[in-house]
Copies of this chain bind each other. A is one copy, B any other.
Amino acid sequence: MAGVSPSTVSRALKADARISQERSQLILRLAHEMDYTPSLAARDLVTQQTNTIGLVLSYMSDLFVGSLVMSIEEAAMSLGYSVFLISSYRDAKREQEAVRSLHERRTAGIIVTGSQIDEGYVQLRRRYAQPVVLINCPSYPHSISSDNLAGARQAVEHLVQLGHRQIAYIADPRSHGANLDRLTGYRSVLDRHQILIEPGWIVEGDGTMAGAQQAVQQLLVSRRRPTAIFCFNDLTAIAALNTLSQAGVRVPADCSVVGFDDLELAPFCCPPLTTVRQHRDQLGQRAVQMLHQLIQGQCEVQPETLPAELVVRKTTGPAPAVAEGREEVIDF
A73 to B84, CA, bound (A): 13
Binary CB contact string for chain A from 102 to 139 against chain B (1 if under 8 A, 0 otherwise) = 01111000000000000000000001100000000000
Residues of B within 8 A of A16 (CB): none
Produce 1/0 per residue, A7-45, CB < 8 A to B.
Answer: 000000000000000000000000000010111111011
* Contact indicator B70/A66 (Cβ below 8 Å): no
Bound complex: CA of A144 vs CA of B98, how far in Å?
A: 29
Q: Knowing A37-B103, A128-B35 are in contact, say whether A242-B264 is a contact too (CB < 8 A).
A: no
The answer to whether A39 touches B35, judged by C-beta atoms less than 8 angstroms apart, is no
> Chain B contacts of A50 at CB under 8 A?
41
Q: Nearest chain B CB to A41's CB is how many angstroms away?
A: 4
CA distance A101 to B37 in the complex (A): 9
Interface size of A as a range: 35 or more
B106 with A40: CB separation less than 8 A: yes
Query: Smallest CB–CB gap between A232 and chain B, Å?
Result: 15
Partner pick for A270 among B44, B67, B208, B245, CB 8 A cutoff: B245
- Which of A38, A45, A83 has the most CB atoms of chain B within a 10 A radius of its CB? A45
Contacts of A73 in B (CB 8 A): 60, 87
- Chain B residue numbers with a CB within 8 Å of A61 are 63, 66-67, 69-70, 264
Does A100 belong to the interface (CB within 8 Å)? yes
Residue pair A268, B209 in contact (C-beta under 8 Å):
yes
Whether the Cβ atoms of A105 and B59 lie closer than 8 Å is no
Asked, given contacts A60-B66, A60-B70, A60-B73, whether A238 binds B265 with beta carbons under 8 Å apart, the answer is yes
Q: Which among A63, A67, A270 has the highest number of chain B CB atoms within 10 Å?
A: A270
A35 touching B268 in the complex, CB below 8 Å, given contacts A41-B44, A59-B70: no
Of all chain B residues, which has the CB nearest A101?
A: B82
Write out the residue numbers on chain B whose beta carbons fall within 8 Å of the beta carbon of A268.
209, 213, 238-239, 241-242
Residue A197 is within 8 A (CB to CB) of chain B in the complex: no
A62 contacts the other chain (CB 8 A):
yes
Taken together as a complex, chains A and B put the C-alpha atoms of A35 and B35 apart, in Å, by 39
Q: Contacts A87-B73, A209-B264 given: A106-B66 contact, CB under 8 Å?
A: no
Which residue from chain B places its CB closest to the CB of A240 in the assembled complex?
A: B268
B209 and A39 form a contact (CB under 8 A): no
Minimal beta-carbon separation of A74 from chain B (angstroms) = 9
Complex Cα distance A209/B267, Å? 10
Bound together, the chains give a CA A101 to CA B60 distance in angstroms of 22
Q: How far is the CB of A284 from chain B (nearest CB, A)?
A: 11
Contact present for A265 and B69 (CB under 8 Å):
no
A38 near B70 with CB under 8 A, answer: no
What are 21 A-B interface contacts by the 8 Å CB criterion?
A35-B127, A35-B128, A37-B104, A39-B45, A41-B42, A41-B50, A60-B60, A61-B69, A61-B70, A63-B63, A66-B66, A70-B87, A84-B84, A85-B85, A208-B264, A209-B265, A238-B268, A241-B268, A242-B268, A242-B269, A242-B270
A-B contact sample (7 more), CB < 8 A, given A63-B63, A84-B84? A38-B104, A42-B45, A60-B67, A61-B63, A61-B69, A82-B101, A209-B264
